[in-house]
Structure 1
């Protein structure tokens, strides 16, 4: 069946173009586009909440490299059995192998550090960034698509056609002699839906306290990631458990507890009130 339709011969080239000896990969281009769109949207929202746009630009100059390094380190640590024998490949991020959870941990550290230095409410900055981050994640998964990674278990051509997917997606899911579940697509769609929910609801008055847009993002993403991760065949493992599933459970429970605790005990302004101190302006 695969030969009849010729899908297996149509895998996309992960290299977009060459600049002399330098190969420019679609993986990097797609991730860069996601980041640029996220920054653009955050810059548009920031002044409405009393945060100077320059603070977004300054923060991203720190957050982006730290997030990238942490994303790679996270992946390498859980694949150390391979990289200890291939240390030269540790820096080869253009071939894939960066972990979203690692990047989020790194970015969170930078946001907390940066906001405390600039006297900007940390929760508010996280609220401004959260919907744009999950959109960037949605876009970034297509970098995995180009590299034929973040895929699921073996499936059939009939199943993929039943999803009414374009032929270019079906052909790209023909990996190592078999069709695979397009788990990259499931997560991309889930993340995009999360973006739509957050971007639509966050301007409703008396709905979100500061910090709850971000915590809503954590709830949404971790919930979907738990189930999608269970479909994947390339998960990072720890003691025969999927690391991302463990972290998803911890984050989901933590976000629920944090929302309940802050609603009961913390006096937090509403998200739409923004930076009431106006220190950053």
Structure 2
């Protein structure tokens, strides 16, 4: 009897998956995955800009850089995903066209960080600001955006782990279309539970939030700059991604028998730690963080104000001279004869 009750409690405690991840308003599809990515980007830009200004940077710089970094990051994330899951799109029975359908899910964080970094580098050079310092400001916000994006994986019923009987296991439902055919991506749950699995997306989400808090505390307590805080973000995320990958048994590309994301996490972790140890200590001079455009605009404003002041002073001097030395009378003007 006790075992039956315990089993019932465990089943009641399972985390249910959302019934669907896509809603339609007429012909328009609203996808939870895309929504949470957008929310994450907005949060990262707003918070990142505040952090950048607090470190001495110019307001609005983060948005300007994001215009370059976000498209590059999305492209890099998709390329990484397609390369590491090649057979799904180009293998037997694969559909190459699906490689272009980013809205269906599938963005690799390492590709996003790599190409997103290239986009940020281009923008930072255009603005005349140091990329490492910029990375320190936006590192925690980027990781928070990643955590928010993981909620989209929840709605897509993806990035989950091995089957489990743990009380916090995640129920994966069958999803079907209007004709009753299986449709995992755009279908609606029919109430049938396929399996109960480790919610690895949730593990990664919680781990990321913990690292965000840690980064903020470290940044406030110590004067960390020159890209070292960004390196801590990368190392912290890699450590979490490494153990999360060990809980997954879904299909994945392997290198020497190791899941490619586990392999990549280990390598990037080592590189991030090396950068943190070898990079310059301390923090940048706040004056070096002002964008070139802002500095030029300030200089031009000061020059204009100076010219106005000099012009006003010159006019005042001319007026004063004219009052001291009144103009002589014309030659034809003569004194009137006395009477």
Give the TM-score normalised by structure 1. 0.85
What is the 5 A alignment of 1:34-183?
34-84=40-90, 85-156=94-165, 159=166, 161=167, 163=168, 170-172=170-172, 177-183=194-200
The reply on whether 1:241 has 2:258 as its aligned counterpart is yes
Is the alpha carbon distance of 1:203 and 1:274 closer, same or farther for their aligned partners in structure 2, counting shifts above 3 Å? farther
Corresponding residue pairs, total: 265
Q: How far has the Cα of 1:7 moved from its partner?
A: 9.1
CA contact 1:124–1:275 (8 Å) conserved in 2: no
1:43 and 1:117 map into 2 onto residues whose CA distance is: 17
Q: Residues of 2 paired with 1:277 and 1:81: CA distance?
A: 45
Contact 1:173–1:182 (Cα < 8 Å) also in 2: no
Query: Aligned with 2:220: secondary structure?
Result: coil
Q: Does 1:29 align with 2:35?
A: yes
Aligned equivalent of 2:286, options 254, 267, 274: 274
Higher alpha-carbon deviation: 91-100 or 35-44: 91-100
Residues 139 and 53 of structure 1: CA distance in aligned 2, closer, same or farther (over 3 Å): same
Q: Highest Rg: 1 or 2?
A: 2
Match of 1:187 in 2: 204
Offset of residue 73 of structure 1: 1.1
TM-score when normalising by structure 2 = 0.71
Give secondary structure in 1 for the equivalent of 2:43: helix
- Please tell me whether the aligned partners of residues 61 and 291 of structure 2 are also in contact (alpha carbons under 8 angstroms): no
Contact 2:228/2:275 (<8 A) preserved: no
Bigger Cα displacement from structure 2, 17-26 vs 173-182: 173-182
Q: Deviations over 1:70-100 (max 9, x none)?
A: 1111111122222123012112222211111
Cα deviation 1:199-258 (Å, max 9, x = unaligned): 22212243x132111011011001111111111123642333211111111111112211
SS state of the match for residue 152, structure 1?
coil
Q: Deviations over 1:175-205 (max 9, x none)?
A: 9722101100100000000111112221224
**CA distance in structure 1 between the aligned counterparts of 2:239 and 2:60, rounded to whole angstroms:** 33
Q: CA deviation at 1:269?
A: 4.4
Q: Which runs of 5+ in 1 are unaligned?
A: 164-168
Higher relative contact order structure (alpha carbons within 8 Å, sequence separation ≥ 6): 1
Selected match of 2:226 from 200, 210, 222? 210
Cα contact 2:58–2:290 (8 A) shared by 1: no
Does the 8 A contact of 2:33 with 2:156 survive in 1? yes
User: Residues 220-235 of structure 1 correspond to what in structure 2 (within 5 A)?
Assistant: 220-234=236-250
**What's the Cα RMSD here?**
2.6
- Offset, 1:123: 0.7
